Amino acid sequence: MKLYMTPGSCSTGIHILLEELDLPFEAYLVNLLAGDQNRPDYLALNPKGTIPTLVRDDGSALTEFQAIAWWLARAYPKAKLLPDDPDGEARVIEAMTYAVGTIHMQGFARIFTTDQFTSNEADQDAVKRRGIEIVAKGYAVLDTLLSGREYVAGRFSIADAALFYVEFWGDKLKLELPENCRTHYRRMLARPAVQRVLREEGYRV
């Protein structure tokens, strides 16, 4: 398989899942700042121009974090990256979707890509502040979810890979992580697969 990724981005979560599954794959770097996502060869794989993209063994490309993560869990069930019962699976997907769809796409997107939300330079500080507010509220929700649990579903699941990357971003921006999120983040940092991924992506463990 081939993973099209950007170090330190949401694709880090998919990178972690591939390492957890111990699957052989080739990594292809997509330089977002240089506009690699808009190159014709990349758009032929992923017309959305987003990351991550996973090209599977049959040559088909799969996009969107949640879809890739769910497929990996279902394609390799022995790793138990999803709970066995429908309610448990739904709760994992619920947490993963909230981390990606709200904390990332509504919160961090306003912080990292402020100009996509306003063309008025005078409004950019307000947009960033709103992004920080959304992230803080999101962390509070996750903190409650993680209360009394080591991982979202009790054991490591695809949701934890999503939580990790939004916690990782908060740590890098020196945002406050609530206690349960901070404990979850440290627990994730201790996982050998996560340590390998961070080293491979150029971060000090």
Q: Examine the domain organization and report whether 106 and 173 are in the same domain.
A: yes
Q: Is residue 198 part of a domain?
A: no
Give the model's pLDDT for residue 171. 97
**Confidence at residue 205, expressed as pLDDT on a 0 to 100 scale:** 76
Q: Are strands 2-5 and 26-29 parallel, antiparallel or unpaired?
A: parallel
pLDDT of residue 118: 94
Does some domain include residue 154? yes
Q: Do 23 and 116 belong to one domain?
A: no
Q: Which of 24, 55, 79 is the last residue of a domain?
A: 79
- Confidence (pLDDT) at 135: 98
Give the CATH number of the domain where residue 18 resides.
3.40.30.10
Specify whether 125 is located in the same domain as 64. Answer: no
- Return the biggest CA–CA distance within the chain: 52
**Same domain for 72 and 91?**
no
Examine the domain organization and report whether 97 and 183 are in the same domain: yes
* Per-residue pLDDT band at 204 (split at 50, 70, 90): confident
> Do the domain assignments include residue 6?
yes
Residues 74, 93: one domain? no
Same-domain status, 35 and 130: no
The DSSP line for 56-76 is: -TTS-EEESHHHHHHHHHHHS
Range of the domain at 15: 2-79
Residues 74 and 94 in one domain: no
- Is 100 found in the same domain as 56? no
Q: What percent of the chain has pLDDT over 70?
A: 100
Q: Above 80 in pLDDT, residue 86?
A: yes
Q: Return the C-alpha torsion angle 163, 107, 47, 96, nearest 10.
A: 30
Neighbours of 165 (CB within 10 A): 25
- Reported as a single tens digit per residue, the pLDDT across 94-117 is 999 999 999 999 999 999 999 999
- CATH number, domain containing residue 148: 1.20.1050.10
Q: How many CB atoms lie within 10 A of CB 157?
A: 27
Strands (DSSP E) contained in the chain are 2-5, 26-29, 53-55, 61-63
65/93 same-domain check: no
- Residue 65: the pLDDT is 98
- Residue 37, in any domain of the structure: yes
Sheet holding 26-29, edge to edge: 26-29, 2-5, 53-55, 61-63
In a shared domain, residues 110 and 184: yes
**158 Cα distance to chain centroid:** 10
Average pLDDT on 21-32 reads 96
Last residue of a domain, one of 79, 114, 135: 79
Domain identity same for 127 and 181: yes
Q: Cβ distance 152 to 159 under 8 Å?
A: yes
Q: Rounded to whole angstroms, how far apart are CA atoms 13 and 178? A: 21
Domain count, the chain: 2
Domain C-terminal end among 48, 79, 110: 79
Average pLDDT over residues 64-87: 97
- Kindly state the average pLDDT of the residues 28-47: 96
3-state helix, strand, coil in the chain (%, to 5): 60, 5, 35
Q: Is the pLDDT of residue 23 over 90?
A: yes
**Taken in order 53, 9, 100, 156, is the CA torsion positive or negative?**
positive
Name the token pair of 129: 């502040």
